[in-house]
Amino acid sequence: TVDLPLLATAAAGSGRDAEAPVSADEVAHYLSDVYDHIVALLASSSHCDMVLSRAHSNYLARISLELGESTVETNLFASRWTVIGAILVPLNVVTGLWGMNVKVPGGEREDLRNFFLILSGCMAFVIAVIVWA
């Protein structure tokens, strides 16, 4: 608690005219105004704290959504390249075998039966990969 007469005498000697001392009622009124301002500032600061905490949670939620979207895009990109790689690797194996100077199974035959068998096996594999993806 504040000793109002002591505060009034201290305020009277601090530069105010000696013939106009501060009354205890004036000091009490002044202190009640200061108290009201402090209460208003506390209410305002608690409101700002609440607004900032909500904004922070909204910001974190937005970052989480954007991270999820970028993860989905990355997965789609990787799956497309996986399908392309799964199609091209067997074809490279087949063309690599025919590009070498080695005996190919069925190479002694004059018809293209083995060629089309191997080619149809590769195409079946490519179609299976496309359907699976």
> pLDDT digit string (tens) for 76-95?
999 889 888 888 887 787 77
Residue 123 vs residue 104, higher pLDDT: 123
Q: What is the distance between the terminal CA atoms of the chain, rounded to a whole angstrom?
A: 79
Tens-digit pLDDT profile for residues 98-112: 777 777 667 777 888
Tokens of 79: 């799956």
pTM of the model: 0.43
Spatial separation of the C-alpha atoms in residues 110 and 2, rounded to whole Å: 116
The percent of residues above 90 in pLDDT, for the chain, comes to 32
C-alpha 47, offset from chain centre: 26
Q: Is 95 helix (H, G, I), strand (E, B) or coil?
A: helix
Q: Is 121 helix (H, G, I), strand (E, B) or coil?
A: helix
Tens-digit pLDDT profile for residues 41-58: 999 999 999 999 899 989
Tokens of 49: 């704290």
